[in-house]
């Protein structure tokens, strides 16, 4: 994240929380803590925070919980892999041979009698 991104993030925060400290020192502090963090994710986290909290977000809340985000990414990847495998299996699937159902039903009837 760049300094301009932090400033844009501060605009979003101060629109909802007018008492938020938007001083240069606070910008520098946030930039140091968020320089390795994607701006789009920070915006999403702030927007989610605004929906549920009446006090401005801390840096940890802007970052979100990295474990949760990493878990979410792993789950998305696992879901994609599962759906890709299902699609591959569907492409390989074939119908049972003709008469298979009738033969199975006949076997079941003879074992009951």
pLDDT one-digit tens code per residue, 19-43? 999 999 999 999 999 999 999 999 9
List the domain boundaries for the chain: 3-92
CATH of domain 3-92: 1.10.8.200
Quick check: 67 pLDDT over 60? no
pLDDT at 111 (0 to 100): 74
What's the pLDDT at 51? 93
The pTM (predicted TM-score) of the whole model is: 0.58
Phi, psi of 65, rounded to the nearest 5 degrees: -90, 110
Contacts of 41 (CB under 8 A, 6+ apart): 64, 69
| Residue 108: Cβ-neighbour burial (10 angstroms; 0-12, 13-18, 19+) | exposed
pLDDT in tens, 77-98: 999 999 999 999 999 999 889 9
- pLDDT, tens digit (0-9, with 9 covering 90-100), for 95-110: 889 999 999 999 898 8
> Quick one: pLDDT at residue 44?
92
């Amino acid at each position: 994240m760049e300094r301009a991104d932090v400033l844009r993030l501060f605009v979003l925060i101060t629109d909802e929380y007018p008492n938020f400290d938007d001083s240069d020192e606070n910008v520098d502090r946030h930039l140091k803590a968020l320089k390795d963090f994607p701006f789009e994710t920070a915006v999403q986290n702030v927007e989610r925070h605004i929906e549920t909290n009446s006090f401005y977000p801390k840096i940890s809340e802007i970052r979100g919980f990295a474990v949760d985000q990493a878990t979410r990414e792993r789950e998305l990847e696992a879901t994609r892999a599962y759906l890709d495998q299902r699609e591959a299996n569907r492409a390989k699937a074939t119908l049972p041979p003709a008469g298979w159902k009738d033969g199975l039903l006949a076997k079941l009837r003879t074992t009951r009698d």
